Amino acid sequence: MRVSSQHLSMFVLLGSLHIASSCAAPQSTPPAAERQAAVAVPGTGQTTATVRVETGVLQGAVSEAGVSYKNIPYAAPPVGDRRWRAPAPAERWDGVRDATRYGRDCMQNRQSWDSMAPTQPQSEDCLYLNIWSPASAGEKSKLPVLVAIHGGGFVAGAGSQAVLDGSKLSARGAIIVTFNYRLGRFGFFAHPALSAESPGSAVGNYGFMDQIAALQWVQRNIAAFGGDPANVTVFGESAGGESINYLMLAADARGLFAKAMVQSGGGRSPWPKLSEDRPNLPSAEAVGRKFATKAKVASDDAAALRAVSAAKVLGGISLIDNDGGTYSGPMIDGRIVTAAVSDGFAQGRQAQIPYWIGSNSNEFGFLPGFLLGRSNSKLVEQFGFDEAQLIAGYGSKDAYEANFASDVTFTEPARYLATAAAAKQPVYLWRFAYVVESKRKSSKGAAHATDLPFTLGNLAANGDKIGDADRLAAQQFGDALIAFARTGVPAIEGQPAWPRYAAKEGRMVEFSEKGIVITSAASLALDAIAQQFAKRTSAP
């Protein structure tokens, strides 16, 4: 799930849940790949393989599924004086670096109820990525590359999560990449002292700078693993999907990926500006000053801020806590993020590449009724909507109460962005409605993030009891994703062809236990939400 302080409308406020040129500069082109023969590791039952990248030689692990390389530094550790700076190039190493185990996760407060949370030790030194490739891949293979950007509300998650293990999807003929990026106040923090020391440079959204640096690393190095740098697909769920929407608008991310898939990525969330207060939304720098006061950093002293302990910087930030209003989350910084994603797409400024976007059929289905009602009220209040008009759009108060929170947060924004982009590029709008066999009697639809175990085929990651029908559905989901990565068109053998979305026809795909169903994106309820957004004098 994704929540940051400005996303209070989604969880926290409800009381229910709570790059610019300064980015890492490209290094010299790495030498030709040297994928060596597998070597047995005595007593482990494993074999290893090596590959050379721009900073040295990596030793990965070989399994029946293929080869994995983990804990690969894509940038220098952002510690000490590098805290709250753009990522610097990774340092070279001598000899062979062990890449058979995950590295450290970025600093975060984990929630006991999050069954898909990462489990590695944590550190500020966390800018590492992981790669899976088929055993037969070689330097000249030019396989499609899929890069996952993890979710977690910009405050949690990691490339090491079991649900993101790339071995199953990679075995089907693709290179899979996952990576960490700075989270919480380590990744999204602004303060006048930090802005003053970097005039004209990107500040504040360090997590986005990390994402761009990781994608730049992929461009420079992925051929060594058998991947095609000209055919990179980014995909992400929740905050990962929201990141992709903004990267599609970021000048420094242009050309780093050729296709994009967004799962429950929102698109209407209000983000604060770097230094300018907005109605009911203080600037990120104002929030940063509040944190500095709490941390007893009295002066505008960047060095003193960087000297604050990691424990204090982490604070109580989590998916349900913005640490007393001292965490702003991502912001409109004027360099990487220049406007709300809805505005950028409306103006046609997004990368014009194949775009697969959608949401789940019952995103907030995990909430009990009384909390869902509270959520609706808070959302109506935050966005200044007319509740009576919304209820009229839904046709009944019961339908409104059951669906509004999901629709305004995820469903309508996905349709809006699809409509805005469809005139410029191939767009595929979809709805994930599949519920695992063991939960069909108790569930009213696919809740937020329940699509994630199907994305890479890791069905056990959520702790659900899995049946044969679930495995088949995951196989089909993987078929569609691999086809999209190869050709830009989702396709499943034996299932109806996915229609390209166009606002006039409004056809979309629903993926459920019935397989692929072509349906209509038309909805009076979503129209009512869209009309309410259009009436607002300022973009969300």
Distance CA 214, CA 120 (A): 20
Task: Specify whether 493 is catalytic.
Answer: no
What angle (nearest 5°) sits at the alpha carbon of residue 414, between those of residues 273 and 216? 60
Nearest to 254 by CA among 20, 483, 24: 20
Nearest to 464 by CA among 482, 479, 451, 480: 451
Contacts of 251 (CB under 8 A, 6+ apart): none
Distance CA 400, CA 392 (A): 9
Residues 16, 238, 269, 283: which is the catalytic one? Answer: 238
Contacts of 524 (CB under 8 A, 6+ apart): 393, 394, 395
**Residue owning tokens 């000209």:** 230
Query: Is residue 351 within 8 Å of 256, Cβ to Cβ?
Result: no
Query: Is residue 536 within 8 Å of 525, Cβ to Cβ?
Result: no
Task: Specify whether 136 is catalytic.
Answer: no
Tokens representing 31 are 């030498």
Query: Is residue 317 within 8 Å of 109, Cβ to Cβ?
Result: yes
Residues 5, 191, 448, 523: which is the catalytic one? Answer: 448
Task: Specify whether 18 is catalytic.
Answer: no
Q: Looking at 43-93, which runs of residues are DSSP E strands? A: 47-53, 56-62, 67-73
Residues 124, 237, 363, 510: which is the catalytic one? Answer: 363
Chain centroid, CA 414 distance in Å:
15
- For the CA atoms of 132, 135, 139, 145, what is the dihedral angle to 10 degrees? -30
Tokens representing 435 are 């519920």
Nearest to 164 by CA among 175, 178, 182, 144: 178
List active site positions. 238, 363, 448
